[in-house]
Amino acid sequence: DVKVTQSSRYLVKRTGEKVFLECVQDMDHENMFWYRQDPGLGLRLIYFSYDVKMKEKGDIPEGYSVSREKKERFSLILESASTNQTSMYLCASSSTSGLGSNIDSGNTIYFGEGSWLTVV
Amino acid sequence: AQSVTQPDIHITVSEGASLELRCNYSYGATPYLFWYVQSPGQGLQLLLKYFSGDTLVQGIKGFEAEFKRSQSSFNLRKPSVHWSDAAEYFCAVRNTGFQKLVFGTGTRLLVSP
């Protein structure tokens, strides 16, 4: 089974702190994602990465950055945490195998269990 | 741009009754469609997905969904709901050539005795 692991399930941080959320996947997936989940808003994409050292902005990148130094690890960084970043953060990964080819398998995206961040 | 609408924020169903959760999408071509379930405090688990072919797809836990191109819909169904089905359900869509998922706002299912 694919496993996406978010090392911190619950964090409480102070306003202005630098926060790191770590995510590791064990299936050699090329693609990794960070989503934010808020009640009534569903999941919104913050950043994603198609390869090591590559990153692309999602729909709500402001206030966040990411790092992907190794294929299996994708980190979300809050440079200066603010109270409006209190939320649940979900990491996900997927494979690109077959994508865009004549045999596009439409690969599934697998999610971690989430990290609950409270900024006080 | 792609979008997904889940018109029902909450739905309450009696245990043993049938269930249908609605999902409408906006996308120019044939999309890839997904239903995920999220139990309280947990991540998202894939229930089922549609890529092409048979428009009625079967998933885990007894769920099924039907893709209707004419209605731009991908509704989730279950013939008999169990108390353990109480959770939040998300419909999602993505391009055929890209990996990004666009999610609906979710429907919370409550199951009454």
Residue-wise pLDDT for A49-82, tens only, equals 988 989 999 999 999 999 999 999 999 999 999 9
| Residue B21 · residue B90 · CB < 8 Å | no
Residue B95 has pLDDT above 90, yes or no: no
Question: Please, which residues 5-34 of chain B have a Cβ atom closer than 8 Å to chain A?
Answer: 9, 32, 34
pLDDT at A97: 63
Residues of B in contact with A114 (CB under 8 A): 41-43
DSSP-assigned beta bridge partners for residue A77: A20, A65
pLDDT of A105 strictly over 80: no
Asked whether residue A100 carries a pLDDT value surpassing 60, the answer given is no
Task: Please report the pLDDT score of residue B12 as a whole number.
Answer: 97
> Is B51 an interface residue toward A (CB < 8 Å)?
yes
pLDDT at B83: 95
**What local confidence, expressed as pLDDT, does residue B54 receive?**
84
Instruction: Evaluate if residue A13 carries a pLDDT over 90.
Output: yes
The C-alpha of A114 sits at a distance from chain B's nearest C-alpha, in angstroms, of: 5
Which tens digit of pLDDT belongs to each residue from A16-45?
A: 999 999 999 998 888 999 999 998 888 999
Q: What is the mean pLDDT of residues B6-34?
A: 91
User: Rounded to 5 degrees, what angle do the CA atoms A110, A98, A91 make?
Assistant: 20
Q: Which pLDDT band, with edges at 50, 70 and 90, does A83 fall under?
A: very high
Q: Which residues of A touch B41 (CB under 8 A)?
A: 114, 116
pLDDT score of A104 more than 70 = no
DSSP state of A5: E
CA–CA distance, B78 with B91 (Å, rounded to integer): 15
> Do residues B104 and B76 touch, judged by C-beta distance below 8 A?
no
Q: Do A111 and B44 touch (CB under 8 A)?
A: yes
Q: What share of chain B is helix, strand, coil (3-state, %, to 5)?
A: 10, 50, 40
CA dihedral sign of residues B96, B99, B100, B104 = positive
State the pLDDT confidence band at B52, using cuts at 50, 70 and 90.
confident
Total residue count of chain A as it appears in this document: 120
Residue B78, by phi and psi: left (phi above 0), alpha (psi -120 to 50) or beta?
beta
Residue B56: pLDDT above 90?
Answer: yes
Cross-strand pairs, B34:
B49, B92
Nearest alpha-carbon partner for B12 in B81, B59, B77, B64: B81
